[in-house]
Chain A
Amino acid sequence: MSDEHLRLAGVTRVYPAVEDQSPVHALGPLDLSLRRGEFFSVVGPSGCGKSTLLDVVAGLARPSAGTISFEGKPVDGVVPDGIGVVFQEDASFPWLTAYDNAAFALRRAGVAEGEVREHVERTLTFMGLWSFAQAYPAQLSGGMRQRLCIARTLVTRPRLLLLDEPFGALDQQTRLLMGDELLKLWRDTAATILLITHSLDEAALLSDRIGVMSARPGVFIDMVETGWPRERDSRIVSGAAFGEVTGRLWSALRDQSLKALAMAS
């Protein structure tokens, strides 16, 4: 089995002109190769195409040019089997209990109810939500709802997990703790993770490797290997190496962020 799990070659995304506006070149051309089981994060200034990158990798949007392959098979506008996505927004279904939310995808796929229960119980327990299985999302905190969205994705056992700023709406302390949980599930599931984040600390804490994107159209301008051991948690933030990683990220990003600000204004 090849060690390469995901490959992007010359991926470009241009949004076509709408009415009197010009086409928007949002992304690329961009090359990337992710190893199986790697934790890779993408940081970049606002509007650089991070979420667009996630959409094309997930198969939610087609690239205007270039190719994407997941486990050796092309991804082209259809979400392939084995990919799970967690969005920034709370996407838990408010009309379903936590249990039914987590069971949703398996039931739609026609999995037998006994098997559904087994998977859901294991996943909700793993995410610390089993005692809230019969609660509705409205009865859960923001952090618990986001954990529920992760659980709903994990229950399908994705081999590639795409996370689009999943902790963006949470406070700093909760983000650190959620980061620990994410590292634990990454180790336990052996999934490859691609995390989109605007937080340099989060990227530095969680990742094996970080891709720094330029202002729009987003291309990778730096790749930072963190060198962390696989067994790690949020305590690494107090080490000197952590500061070095975030410092390098900011050095690469500062000019791009200024450029993005100038473009926005």
Chain B
Amino acid sequence: MSRAGWLRLLLSFGAIGLLEAACRMGYVSREAVIPPSMMVQGTWRALNSAETRTDLWLTLQNVALALVLSLIVGMSAALLLHKLPRLRRALDPLLASYYAVPTFVFYPLFIVLFGLNRWPLVAIGFLFAVVAVIINTLDGLSRIPASFVRTASVMRLTRAQYLWHVVFPAAAPWLFTGAKFAVAYSFIGVIAGEFVVSGAGVGHAIAFAYNSFDNRMMYGLILLLFVLVGGINTALSMWESRLYARRGGR
């Protein structure tokens, strides 16, 4: 591990140790924050509960659906906008200010449209993630060197060959960034939706624990999510770094 990695680990464990000590010595009220060791116990308890495992599975399915949809729709929309520069110029301000819109206000509309099932939550997760995918894919498409495009013409590639063998690999670093954002935003959209309005899922379980003053379960579930999302993003970052290393940053 690099020196920066060791330092990061040391700082993380130092902060956790400080919080543990502050909670144990009564400097922080346990009604507000519980010691990290108790959070771990809460996570263990949550993982051993069949009900929580069902909630987790439901949440992961919703996140996966929102993620896959946002990647497919986002990349397709970006390809279309890249081909239609006038439309892109018209939509640029909307894309740039998109995250100022509180997406949750559409939840009642989605319930009317899709019914009381998973799809309103998937739609919220999708809406959160899709624009990050569009913006990053557009960025990647704009940065494909003109010489690659000309090379593809000289080799007389078909449209599909050009997309699959030149465009996607050339834009891969930006597509990766978009995918990483999409993972985070899908989780945020789905969990927050479950937290506020749903009757199932990890977000709902956190809200239920909060309303029941079950801090150990609440923090345990938050820690579980933290580890899960952090793990997925770390794995994606490591994969990305390996790709970048052999491409020499290109």
Contacts and interface: CB of A to CB of B under 8 A. Distances in A.
Interface in B138-196: 145-148, 150-151, 153-157, 161, 165-166, 169-170, 172
B166 A93 contact: yes
B155 A138 contact: no
Contact of A79 (B154, B161, B243, B248): B154
Contacts of B170: 93, 95
A14 to B, nearest CB: 21
A91 B151 CA distance: 7
Contacts of B249: 138
Contact of A60 (B153, B169, B243): B153
Contacts of A105: 155
A76 to B, nearest CB: 14
Shortest 6 CB-CB contacts between residues of A and residues of B:
A138-B248, A91-B147, A94-B250, A89-B147, A94-B247, A95-B169
B154 A136 contact: no
Interface in A141-169: 153, 156
Interface of A: 58, 60, 78-79, 81, 83-85, 87, 89-91, 93-96, 104-105, 108, 136-139, 153, 156
Given A93-B166, A94-B247, A94-B248, A108 B155 contact: yes
Among B145, B155, B169, B248, find the residue whose CB has the most chain A CB atoms closer than 10 A.
B155
B246 interface: yes
A85 B149 CA distance: 13
Interface residues of B, number: 23
B248 A85 contact: no
A111 B157 CA distance: 14
Interface string B212-250: 000000000000000000000000000000010011111
B154 A90 contact: no
B154 A83 contact: yes
Nearest to A83: B154
B70 to A, nearest CB: 24
A83 B246 CA distance: 31
Contacts, number: 60
A136 B248 contact: yes
B248 A139 contact: yes
A138 B247 contact: yes
Counting chain A CB atoms within 10 Å of each CB, the highest count among B145, B154, B166, B248 belongs to B154
A164 to B, nearest CB: 9
A108 B155 CA distance: 8
16 contacts: A58-B154, A60-B150, A78-B156, A79-B153, A79-B154, A81-B156, A89-B147, A93-B169, A94-B250, A95-B170, A96-B169, A108-B157, A108-B161, A136-B246, A136-B248, A138-B250
Contacts of A136: 246-248
B246 A89 contact: no
Contacts of A84: 154
B26 to A, nearest CB: 56
B154 A85 contact: yes
B247 A95 contact: yes
B147 A87 contact: yes
A137 B248 contact: yes
A213 B172 CA distance: 41
B149 to A, nearest CB: 10
B147 A79 contact: no
Given A87-B151, A136-B248, A79 B156 contact: yes
A79 B152 CA distance: 10
B154 A108 contact: no
B174 to A, nearest CB: 13
B165 A104 contact: yes
